[in-house]
A and B are shown apart, each in its own frame.
Chain A
């Protein structure tokens, strides 16, 4: 396969950083095509976590002793890394959470419960992962606000032309979208949505769990108000995510989790909240995972997000070509030039579970299911799809092996 020489990325070389590829699955080398569900971890990240535990571990912001200072420096260093990673104006606007899901729940609860009510409209897209759908649906119901869905066209792209009609006379308070659809790979025009949201006086909430690992994220260019992302899809450990939010919004919000460390003073009659970002970081945080998250952002930044995006878009185009050549395939989503490294498809007459099961016997891991996007699956008129998704360590040979595996699928089940 000819990968166009835009910003260079040597996936074969990067692959050597990932110990998981040293094993065999059912006697075959691992072809891992499920990075949209979670990414594999490079040795640099694994080493950072181990080093941290071996040399610097203590609780953060607590002790005056050396280890605690080291741990705090690591933790706050990762916050600065996260700030730079999304080009946020200030590190105090970056809050560590347990996941992108928790980041969105934080906004939905802490902002939503106090700012939404009857007559208000919460607008999310049909492309959303349940993580950016269910919390808003729930909080809208709790507060009496209207929950509305921005539809997509047959290529899986947002129908922005219909947004004014959809909003109608409603008082739109929240617009929530993902940057990249985890099911179809659609790259959404967040800037345009933000401009529309702000014109209406609404806040713009961006789920970048799928976007941030693969695309340049600049919260100032997006002009959004909140942006959630996570570590585990970005070469980092699971159990940690981040939320960026505008300081003035975060400052005005009530806290989300309550407990240790998020306070200024606690008395029997009342408690006052700590400063940003600590107001939103109650309890002992995943300290070593944050260290790993920081190392992961460093790793991805060094490879270069632009190079990753370009490389994965080429892989998606290659996969779509090979699937078309294979025949009897329905693929979903936009054309390669507006698509991230994700290809969802169905093999005519064969259920995705069966496809994925047979591929597994060939050492090829793909996802089969609804990808936490049941409303989207309903829109596509399917219960489930197969999904192949890529990252900086994906090589074309893995895609070729998936295609070979599909021949076996058809032989057994066709």
Chain B
């Protein structure tokens, strides 16, 4: 089971994360916290001149292999997509890409980056947040 979890592609993204870093003067930015372990992730987005399409996206922070790898995969997935498309991106699409069996606890690790990205876009562009997050506290997803 542990070999399924830490399969090669996960370890590759964990050890060589794509889009790792900070964008100064980002158009959209948010930080999030996984309250289960205290991990933090920040996401930065720069839009293309149309103001809609993601031109550059980066993440920083600390986390476990699952959260780091899934956020790295997310960076590749959303490159070139519009804010609206990303807001509508179902979490299942990312989980399919991650492609490993996850317990409910580890699911929170895998989805932290996606949540933070959606909050960043919500703040910058007013795109909707998933319904299950209605009323979520700013403390949980700074």
Is A361 an interface residue when CB atoms closer than 8 A count as contact? yes
Residue interface bits B36-72, CB-to-A below 8 A is 1, else 0? 1111100000000000000000000011111100000
Cα distance A413–B10 in the bound complex, in angstroms: 10
Contact B39 A412 (CB under 8 A): no
B contact residues, total (Cβ < 8 Å): 19
The reply to whether B5 and A357 contact each other, CB–CB distance below 8 Å, is: yes
Residues on A with C-beta less than 8 A from B65 are 351, 353-354, 413
Choice from B1, B11, B36, B67 contacting A413 with Cβ under 8 Å: B11
Q: Which residue of A lies closest to B34 (CB)?
A: A383
CB of B136 within 8 A of chain A? no
B30 at the interface (CB under 8 A from A): no
* Chain A residues with CB below 8 A from B6, complex form: 354, 358, 412-413
Q: Do A26 and B1 have beta carbons less than 8 Å apart?
A: yes
Interface presence of A377 (CB below 8 A): yes
Distance between Cα atoms of A85 and B119 in the complex (Å): 51
A396: which B residues are within 8 A, CB to CB?
none
Min Cβ gap B3→A in Å is: 8
| Residue of A whose beta carbon sits closest to that of B65 | A354
Q: A338-360 toward B: CB 8 Å interface, digit per residue (1/0)? A: 00000000000001111001101
Does A174 reach chain B (CB closer than 8 Å)?
no
Is A193 positioned at the interface, with any CB of B under 8 Å from its CB? no
- Residue of A351, A374, A412, A413 near B63 (CB, 8 A) is A351
Could you say which of A26, A360, A370 contacts B38, with CB atoms under 8 Å apart? A370
Interface of A is mostly: helix
**B2 touches A (CB below 8 Å):** yes
Contact at A369–B64, with CB atoms within 8 Å?
Answer: no
**B109 at the A interface (CB under 8 A):** yes
Chain B residues with CB below 8 A from A360, complex form = 2
Q: CB of B106 within 8 A of chain A?
A: yes
- Report A-chain residues with C-beta under 8 Å of the C-beta of B5: 357
- When distances are taken between beta carbons in the complex, the residues of chain A under 8 Å from B2 are 357-358, 360-361, 412
Question: Which of B1, B11, B40, B66 is within 8 Å of A353, CB to CB?
Answer: B66
**Interface membership of A295, Cβ < 8 A:** no
Tell me, yes or no, whether A139 is within 8 Å of chain B by CB: no
> What residues on B are CB-neighbors of A374 within 8 Å?
38
- Tell whether A384 is near chain B: CB-to-CB under 8 Å: yes
Which of B5, B65, B67 has the most chain A CB within a 10 Å cutoff? B65
Contact present for B38 and A357 (CB under 8 Å): no
**Contacting pair A361 B38 (CB below 8 A):** no
Bound-state CA distance A383–B6 (Å) is 22
Residue of B nearest to A355 (CB): B64
Find out whether the CB atom of B37 lies under 8 angstroms from the CB atom of A412.
no
Contact assessment for B38 and A384 in the assembled complex, using a CB-CB cutoff below 8 Å? yes
Closest 8 CB pairs of A and B: A353-B64, A361-B2, A351-B64, A383-B38, A370-B38, A384-B37, A369-B37, A354-B65
* A residues with CB within 8 A of B: 26, 351-354, 357-358, 360-361, 368-370, 374, 377, 383-384, 412-413
Pick 18 A–B contacts, CB within 8 A, sort by A: A351-B65, A352-B64, A353-B37, A353-B66, A353-B106, A354-B6, A354-B66, A370-B37, A370-B38, A374-B38, A383-B37, A383-B40, A384-B38, A384-B39, A412-B2, A412-B6, A413-B14, A413-B65
Interface residue ranges, B against A (CB under 8 Å): 1-2, 5-6, 11, 14, 36-40, 62-67, 106, 109
Q: Knowing that A26-B1, A369-B37 are A-B contacts, what are 16 other residue pairs whose CB atoms are under 8 Å apart, sorted by A's residue number?
A: A351-B39, A351-B65, A352-B64, A353-B106, A353-B109, A354-B64, A354-B66, A357-B5, A360-B2, A361-B1, A383-B38, A383-B40, A412-B2, A413-B6, A413-B11, A413-B14
